Amino acid sequence: MRSAEGRGRTLEEAVDAALIELGETRRNVDVRVVRESPDETVVEVTVMDASAASGASPVNGKAETVRTLLEGLLKHMGVRASVQVRAGSDPITLDVTGRDLGALIGWRGETLRALQSVTNVMVGKHLNEGERVIVDVERYRQRREHTVREIALRAARQVKMTGDAITLDAMQAFERRAIHLALEGDPDVTSSSIGEEPDRRVVVGPRKPADA
């Protein structure tokens, strides 16, 4: 897999710098934030190799079984789409791609979330205890995770400048998780959640000395 390091003032700029170096689009890459400071963001951008994904099937028969089951489900639903196993993903992540798959994502990813639940119930007997499969359509989930991570870093910068806590919009569990993970290593800010599902929100606030 090819990867490149990108640097910029913002996450957006850093990702763009790496994409230019790789000659790739955002659709085909995975982004990892290496370092984040008020002056500079450093990211590692890795190209997701589709051929490597399909080539992984002999190594991971379980992933291939799961992929076939989801492909069959989509066929029964009358959805024309291809399913690939995301290379090197743990847990197993299935990427669904095709044309006009907006209906498969639904409002705020609701249909996608339902599809993931059904898929996990279908493939449960092929998985180990506690193991789950992630379903992504047109990389919606990955893009949302990147977006909320960006929001989290922006909120953290603002909290550091003002010292005031910020309450973000209501988010789904996987989005809140992405925010907590993005900020867990920051010594100056802390994140917590308030409210009840489905209106649960993340609050980003300054880390008190006792928290550190």
Partner 1 sequence: MSARSAAQRIRKAIAVVNAVADGAGDEEITPTEIAEAIRDCMELPEVAAVPNVRKYLGEALDATSDGMPADFVAMTLYAALGALQEGLPS
Which residues make up the interface to partner 1 (CB under 8 A)?
113-114, 116-118, 120-121, 124, 132, 172-174, 176-177, 180-181, 191-193, 196-198, 200, 202
The residue count of the chain comes to 212
Q: Could you tell me the smallest distance in angstroms from the CB atom of residue 7 to partner 1?
A: 29
What sign for the dihedral angle of Cα 49, 54, 60, 66? positive
Pick the closer one to partner 1 by CB: 26 or 177. 177
Q: ∠140-129-143 over CA atoms, to 5°?
A: 10
The number of C-alpha atoms within 13 Å of 173 and in the hemisphere containing its C-beta is: 3
Q: Could you tell me the smallest distance in angstroms from the CB atom of residue 180 to partner 1?
A: 5
Pick the closer one to partner 1 by CB: 41 or 175. 175
Partners of residue 41 on adjacent β-strands:
8, 36
Pick the closer one to partner 1 by CB: 7 or 177. 177
Pick the closer one to partner 1 by CB: 101 or 148. 148
Pick the closer one to partner 1 by CB: 58 or 78. 78
Residue that is written with structure tokens 């953290």 in the block: 156
Of 77, 69, 86, 5, nearest to 40 by C-alpha is 5
Parallel/antiparallel/unpaired status of strands 201-206 and 166-170: antiparallel
Q: Could you tell me the smallest distance in angstroms from the CB atom of residue 107 to partner 1?
A: 10
Whole-number Å distance between alpha carbons of 22 and 20? 5
Q: Could you tell me the smallest distance in angstroms from the CB atom of residue 132 to partner 1?
A: 7
Please measure the distance between the N-terminal and C-terminal CA atoms of the chain and give it in whole angstroms: 37
Whole-number Å distance between alpha carbons of 152 and 96? 27
Q: Could you tell me the smallest distance in angstroms from the CB atom of residue 48 to partner 1?
A: 22
Q: Could you tell me the smallest distance in angstroms from the CB atom of residue 200 to partner 1?
A: 7
- H/E stretch holding 123 reads helix 110-123
Pick the closer one to partner 1 by CB: 75 or 132. 132
